Structure formats: C-alpha cells, structure tokens
Amino acid sequence: MVIVQRKQLSFAEKLYLPAIARGLSITFRKIFEKKITRQYPEEPLPKTEVTRGQPRLVVKEDGNIACVSCGMCEIACPAYAITIDGGETDRTIEREPVRFDIDMLRCILCGFCEEACPKDAIYMSDELELADYTRAALVYDIHKLKRPKAALQKRIDYVYRLNNRWRKSSSTR
C-alpha cells in the first residue's frame, strides 16, 4: 500500500487563476505555430518500394500477361478474394487466365499472393485509394488489374532483394 501525501496547495494555486492564465497563453501561442496537417489528396504520403498497396498483375514487355493461371495465389489468399478461371493459349506457356478477379473489398493487402506466385505475375503496387459507388465496381477484373512491368519495377526489385537468398532466378527476370 502506498500512502500518497497530497501536496498542500498555496493560496495562489488554489485560486487557479495564474494556472489558467498560463494555460491560455500556451494555447494562444500555439495558434501561430506551424501546422502539421497533411492535405491528403493534394499532398499524399511519399510512397516507397516498401509500400504494400493493392495487388496488380504484371504485363511483360511483349504485352502478354505473366500469369499462367496456376491458382497458387487463389489458394494462398486468406481472404478468398481471388477468383481465377484458366484457359488455353497458343503461347509456349500454354495457359493463361481468361478470368482473373480480385474482390478489392475482401482483399486485406497481406501480400501472400505476391509471395505465392511462381511466375512473378502478381505484385503489390503502390496504389492505395479504393472508392466507388457500388460493390460490384470494386471487384476488379483482369483488365483493371493489368499494369505494365515498368510501373511495378520498384516493388519487383525490392522483393528480389528481400528474397535473394533462396530465389536465384526467375522466368520473367
């Protein structure tokens, strides 16, 4: 048990007026100090390669999507946000997705799909804003998800540096 000795206040302290005046002077001075507000849509936070935004599909330099619709990301996804239907293609990889939907309302931006992908086809972009008028519009199909590789290059390089110990080569590198 601790017995706390309350400090006996002097008369001036009991009046509270000096303390109130001091408090008022502090808040008044703060009015003129520098503001720390960030005007968000106009001044967004700086995005770095570590920024893990929404997943996007890589479109290689030859214009083809890197995905072979193996379904690894679909299985890895803890939020069941990804739906893939595979189809045939004449390219040497033989398979490509005919349907690749990510329900952005389910996506938790965990990045498991990025980790799971064996073909470096899906990466977390730095795109963060997510707003629309209907739920249906927020289920992104393959056309909305496609991004040129150059746009994701910073993240790809970062992931490679991170995983360099066990990931020596890749089909799309």
Partner 1 sequence: MNPMLRDFLVVFLKCNLIYGGLLGTAAGMTLAERKVSAWMQYRIGPNRVGPWGLLQPIADLIKFIFKEEMMPDGANKWLFRCAPLIAAIPAMLVIGVIPFGPAIPFEFMGNYPNFSITDLNIGLMFLLAIGGLSIYGVILGGWASNSKFSLLGGLRASAQMISYELTLILVILAVVAVSGSLNLRAVVETQKTIGEWNVFSQPLAFLLFVVAAFAETNRHPFDFAECEPELVGGFHTEYSSMRFALFFLGEYCAMIVMACLSTTLFFGGYSVPFWEDAPWFVGIAAFLLKSAAFLFLYLWVRWTLPRFRFDQLMHLGWKVFLPLALANLFLTGAAVSWGVDLW
Q: Exactly one of 3, 36, 131, 136 binds partner 1 (CB under 8 A); which one?
A: 36
Q: Exactly one of 33, 62, 88, 90 binds partner 1 (CB under 8 A); which one?
A: 33
Angle at CA of residue 155, ends 153 and 157, nearest 5°: 65
Of 133, 84, 130, 132, the C-alpha closest to 107 is 130
* Burial grade of 113 (CB within 10 A; 0-12, 13-18, 19 or more): buried
Q: Exactly one of 31, 45, 131, 136 binds partner 1 (CB under 8 A); which one?
A: 31
Residue 18 binding partner 1, by CB under 8 A: no
| Closer residue to partner 1, CB minimum distance, 35 or 161 | 35
How is residue 137 annotated by DSSP?
G
| Closer residue to partner 1, CB minimum distance, 32 or 133 | 32
Q: Exactly one of 1, 4, 26, 131 binds partner 1 (CB under 8 A); which one?
A: 26
Q: Phi, psi (5° rounding) for residue 94?
A: 70, -25
Which span (36-44, 49-57, 74-82, 91-99) binds partner 1, by CB under 8 A?
Answer: 36-44
* C-beta separation of 121 from 68 below 8 A: yes
- What is the spatial distance between Cα 22 and Cα 16, in angstroms, rounded to a whole number? 10
Which span (24-32, 54-62, 90-98, 141-149) binds partner 1, by CB under 8 A?
Answer: 24-32
| Closer residue to partner 1, CB minimum distance, 10 or 27 | 27
- What is the spatial distance between Cα 74 and Cα 80, in angstroms, rounded to a whole number? 7
Interface with partner 1 (CB under 8 A): 20, 23-24, 26-28, 30-31, 33-37, 39
